[in-house]
Amino acid sequence: MAFDDKLILASGSPRRVELLAQVGIEPDRLMPMDLDETPKKSEHPRSLARRLCAEKAEAALTAIKGDPGALGSYILAADTVVAVGRRILPKTEMVDEASSALHLLSGRSHRVFTGICLITPDKKIRQRIVDTKVRFKRLSGLDIENYLASGQWRGKAGGYAIQGIAGSFVVKLVGSYTNVVGLPLQETLSLLSGEGYDIHRRWVEA
């Protein structure tokens, strides 16, 4: 079934694609934006998530200018930031980064902020920030060693993926679970439907 309203997802994250598919939404185009995600000096984690999601959405809007196939599209971007206090944890690419993050998260609470930014077909910009509090159990050396060996930490903010083995580390979660996975579904669908994107027709006609 074809729909008039097109959706461009300014991300290449398989997790975000899977989460949207869970609620019957398949982006018409994936446009991952390769931006410098380095925090600015003294930048708060919430502010970083807000800034990066907006920059990704705006970069995608610039990239589709002059493309007739993209006319009338909604552009959705998101960025997830994991922090302990004001300390922002990186998206881990090296095993020592992941090890450091897991030792820091062990036995304590941290916050996961996801900024979502929607640019509508008439170029309105809408943003939301979703905040989830997560507490890990105290991780043993064996927990960390074998989790690192699993490779599930690679490329993940904070060095873990809650939808995998690391789900067993969580002793308490306050807020949106899908936010920690990478895209808060309730807030995202609310944003889309509030701007005229027909999510319910997709449920019925999927």
Residue 103, token pair as written in the block? 């030792």
Residues known to be catalytic = 79
pTM > 0.75: yes or no: yes
**Alpha-carbon gap, residue 86 to 63, rounded angstroms:** 33
Is residue 90 within 8 Å of residue 135, measured between CB atoms? no
**pLDDT for residue 202:** 76
Q: Computed from CA positions of residues 47, 158, 117, 31, in that sequence, does the dihedral angle turn out positive or negative?
A: positive
The tokens for 75 are 């552009």
Distance CA 181, CA 170 (A): 13
pLDDT at 4: 67
Q: Which pair of tokens denotes residue 12?
A: 């290449």
For the chain, which ranges sit under pLDDT 50? 1-2
The pLDDT value given to residue 1: 41
How crowded is the C-beta side of 5, counted as CA atoms within 13 Å? 18
Q: What is the H or E stretch that residue 76 is in?
A: strand 73-84
pLDDT for res 2:
45
Judged by DSSP in three states, 36 sits in coil
Separation between Cα atoms, residue 21 and residue 7, nearest integer Å? 13
Q: Are 83 and 133 in contact (CB under 8 A)?
A: no
